[in-house]
Amino acid sequence: MPGMNLSQIRVVDPVLTTIAQGFKQPALIGNALFPVVPVGVRAGRILSFGKEDFMLYNTARTPGSNTKRLKFGYASGTFALVDYSLEGQLALEDIQESDNNPAGPGVDLMSMTVNKTMESMALGLEYAQATLARTAASYQAANKTTLSGTSQWSDYGTTSNPVAVIETAKEAVRAAIGKRPNTIVMGAAVMSKLRAHPLIVDRVKYTGRDVATPELLASLFGVQRVLVGDSIYMNDAGTTITDVWGKDVVVAYTELGSIADRGNPSYGYTYNLSGYPMVEQPYFERNPKSWFAPVTRVEAPVIAAVNAGYLITNAVA
């Protein structure tokens, strides 16, 4: 087995699996709307929340009468995790050429291979999360809007008002779940137009800053964080580049809780099978003269509480 000794082969599986499980690509923001929750099975019921948290009950009782009982949380819909697998290839020639590198061959080179493989797979999850969040059919009528013409934030006339639209979204979420949204996710094209919007520029000038940043927008919109999706993807031919988050905005209340947190009104989760991502022991193939590291992810994003989110479609032209 060229390029690796037995001691390297013994440690590569657990080491690379740890690398894969700790992998985090900073440009991806989908987990802000769909925080990762480990589960022990590949299929089950989505744990959501009911209106019990927000109902005003008459808890008075007469002597000897029954005490009212509440049951919090319920299962709504199902989830089915999907297995995703991809193999990273490390050519023997690359290992041989690295012999002159003080870092040497072995785990370092294979770690790089696994990380590049994870980047590709993480982009796939980001795309799935964005597609789910940007699907208007998932939302009720009170929790979505589509901007057009002079109402779009790319139109700098008097009828375009990003702050008012965000306030409407926040109130719709608060009215539905009793909590104000804490997260806003937007496409890169939206952020680009917001930076130059006269209303935003006018508000920002009092902060002593010349340009609106996500942190300033978070303060202006009254949320904990504003995240901008810069990730892109290409078609199979590599000729078309598309923004993963498009021209849309999602306003949501999202909170990381365990799978046992019934009653937690979080917008969504990414259910992830415990122990994954996993890297199998790399193997060598003689024909391509390469090592291959199989990486497997088992996951699925789900909307757990659609009323905890608000979709603004076509925020900019």
Give the CATH number for residue 13: 3.90.1690.10
The segment with the largest mean pLDDT, out of 61-70, 95-104, 243-252, 290-299, is: 243-252
Q: Report pLDDT for 94.
A: 81
Q: Report pLDDT for 59.
A: 77
Neighbours of 108 (CB within 10 A): 12
CA dist 123 and 222 (Å) reads 29
Q: Report pLDDT for 256.
A: 58
Total domains in the fold of the chain: 1
Residue 61 lies in a domain: no
CA dist 279 and 107 (Å) reads 13
CA dist 282 and 311 (Å) reads 43
- Higher pLDDT: 65 or 129? It is 129
CA dist 230 and 215 (Å) reads 16
* Residue 9 banded pLDDT, cuts 50, 70, 90: very low
pLDDT reading at 5 higher than 70: no
- Higher pLDDT: 56 or 173? It is 173
Going by their DSSP bridges, the two strands 144-146 and 309-313 should be labelled as parallel
pLDDT reading at 132 higher than 90: yes
pLDDT reading at 173 higher than 90: yes
Q: Tell me the pLDDT of the chain averaged across its residues.
A: 83
Distances in whole angstroms, Cα of residue 293 to Cα of each of 113, 132, 160, 212, 283: 8, 30, 51, 43, 7
pLDDT reading at 104 higher than 50: no
Contacts of 94 (CB under 8 A, 6+ apart): 109
Q: Report pLDDT for 286.
A: 94
- Higher pLDDT: 237 or 168? It is 168
- Higher pLDDT: 97 or 287? It is 287
The sign of the dihedral angle between the CA atoms of 263, 267, 271, 277 is: negative
Residue 256 lies in a domain: yes
Per cent of the chain over pLDDT 70 is 79
Burial grade of 284 (CB within 10 A; 0-12, 13-18, 19 or more): middle
Residue 58 lies in a domain: no
Q: Report pLDDT for 6.
A: 40
Q: Report pLDDT for 89.
A: 93
Q: b/e per residue, 245-282, with b = 16+ CB within 10 A?
A: bbbbbbbbbbbebeeeebebbbbbbbbbbeebbbbbeb
Residue 62 lies in a domain: no
Instruction: Say if residues 123 and 160 touch (Cβ distance below 8 Å).
Output: no
Instruction: Say if residues 297 and 63 touch (Cβ distance below 8 Å).
Output: no
Residue 63 lies in a domain: no
Residue 247 lies in a domain: yes
- Higher pLDDT: 193 or 59? It is 193
Q: Report pLDDT for 61.
A: 77
- Higher pLDDT: 175 or 260? It is 175
Q: Report pLDDT for 45.
A: 78
Q: Report pLDDT for 1.
A: 45
Note down the domain range covering 177: 6-50+74-313
CA dist 16 and 280 (Å) reads 8
Residue 32 lies in a domain: yes
Residue 59 lies in a domain: no
pLDDT reading at 229 higher than 90: yes
